Amino acid sequence: MFNLAMLLEDSARRHPHLDAVRSGDDRMTYAELDSRACRVADLLIACGVEPGDTVALTCPNLPDFPAVYYGILKAGAVVVPLNILLEPAEIAYHLQDSEADVYICFEGDGELPTGAYGVEAFGRTPGCREMFLITADPAASSPYPGVETLDHALVPQPANFDTVMRRPDDTAVILYTSGTTGKPEGA
């Protein structure tokens, strides 16, 4: 039994104070990254996510991307990373096709409105039961009624989590093709 998140846990044990993620002047150590991933996993379990369920993620190259990615894995769920350039109909297709139970999306900005697109797509996908918004400012409130921010949802979650073990042949990640010859397919 194994889980890819164990690679992060091992690094957090061996090198807790070393930088795992750097973004401009922001730094996140391996211990901090693992702790945040544990909170994400706890949140997903609280939302009813079970091993093998899918969780979609739209997030650019920010420190929250690896934290959420590993948190999904820790929960035993399948990560479905989505391209940040997708538009609402495309996101809705991916959410429905992957049978995503939860969707976590970065808020974006005026030039790249990933949050607005994500909220619209989530509204078109009745099978996806929860959505959380990653805000650029962790203290900010969600600009979308009914959509909680990830940081707010993580506050009550514990910083430790017993990673769900998976079999070597279980799916960990579904990457979608570009769909150049038809609809995108999960691989």
Tell me: the pLDDT tens digits for 78-130? 999 999 999 999 999 999 999 999 999 999 998 999 999 999 999 999 999 99
Surface-to-core class of residue 70, CB atoms within 10 Å of its CB (0-12 exposed, 13-18 middle, 19+ buried): buried
DSSP secondary structure string, 127-145?
T--EEEEE-SSTTPPPSST
CA distance 106 to 164: 26
**What's the confidence (pLDDT) of residue 181?**
78
Residue 182 has pLDDT above 90, yes or no: no
pTM reported for the whole predicted model: 0.96
- pLDDT surpassing 80 at residue 35: yes
27, 43, 109, 119 from 145: Cα distances, Å: 31, 20, 17, 10
At 149, which helix (H) or strand (E)?
A: strand 148-149
**57 near 77, Cβ under 8 Å?**
no
Q: Which domains does the chain have, with CATH numbers?
A: 5-154 (3.40.50.980)
